[in-house]
Structure 1
Amino acid sequence: MDYHWFQLINQLGNSLPALNLVMRLLASYALYVFYIGIVIYWFTRQDLKRRMVAESLLSTYVAITFSGLLAHFFYRDRPVVTHNVIQLISHPANASFPSNHTIGAFVIATSIWIHRRKVGKVWLVLAAGIAFSRVWTGVHYPSDVIAGAVIGIAAAVLMHQLFKRSSLALKWLTKFIYWYEAVESRIWRRNETPRSSVIK
């Protein structure tokens, strides 16, 4: 069944070739939009957004660690290794299950959605596009990306619940953000040009 759905999606590369470039971009580069997004959110210097970014980064670490364990104990070859596929992007023949691209996209999108519902929906749609494109371009089976989405969403939700329910965890997260902001403030002050030197 998994291979059947893979074939249906992957064969769209032949029947709808006009969309192949879009799918290549989604599969290879769209994840960088998430990285740029969380950097921008962080440097808005708003407490809620910095907590959101911190949660997403911790969730990503947990999710990718769990993914590595799954890939080790339930190793699965990529479609290109065992089937004739339409492979639109190059990729090493490493573990296919689960999809780390999908995990990364969904864990960040879910973290954003938890804190910012309206814009979070846009991020979730983009994450779904990445997941779909990874099958279209021939580097993952549908179950790989479904598992990645589930892991990403679960990690983001569980991490948020941890900080929501544990005052100790929230205290340490707040301390880390406060420490970072103190260091950041010192760096900015150090790099400022004294007014007296400008007058001279």
Structure 2
Amino acid sequence: MKYLSYIFLTILSLVFVSCGDDDGLPEPDGGNSLGTGQVNFDFSGEGYEVNGLGYVSVVDTFINFAIEDSTGTLNYDTLYNQAISFGIIDYQDDSFTPRKVFGALIVNYDGPGTYPYFGFNGNVEDSGLWWIFYSQYTDDGVTSEEAIYGGLSLLYSDDQNYSGSIVITKDNNNLLEGTFSVDAYSDLGVAETVNTMAGSFSIEK
């Protein structure tokens, strides 16, 4: 069975618009919070680190998707769910120009626990890791020097044997912590060559 998913940019827009103001920075209101954060992870034999502004935001997701059944018919549906979006942004100097960004989104988040990749396994009400990503930019803060994607992006492939999960180990009024080990790929490397992206993060609220 082949799964198709789309309107990725819509999802990203909802996440960042709902937790930000006109300058694009998250706001500590409406279920959102700001603090400092750090993430360390390994991917394809290299180590990565992001230190900077951490954000945690409760968002509403609007996800259109289609599932192709055994007859080749596409069955369309829409998923409206609450999710938790969180990440860390390393800004250049004192400006709002990003140098590195790490982020993730969990659909139907329900506190500490293990969230495997969200896979549309016949039940769109499942909880799971919808996407996880890392981006590194040039001095303009727009052009990507490197990008690593996991989750949603993998659903575009015919091969559904991807695995991985994110584990939230702590979530209280002061701190969000967790670990992850997921299949992911770099868009600047060999096209869709999948490697393991594994590490840990800590975000102060």
TM-score range, shorter chain: under 0.3
Instruction: Answer 1 or 2: which has greater helix percent.
Output: 1
**TM-score, normalising length: structure 2:** 0.24
Q: Which structure has more RCO (C-alpha within 8 Å, separation ≥ 6)?
A: 1
Instruction: Answer 1 or 2: which has greater strand percent.
Output: 2
Of the two, which has the highest radius of gyration?
1
**TM-score, normalising length: structure 1:** 0.24
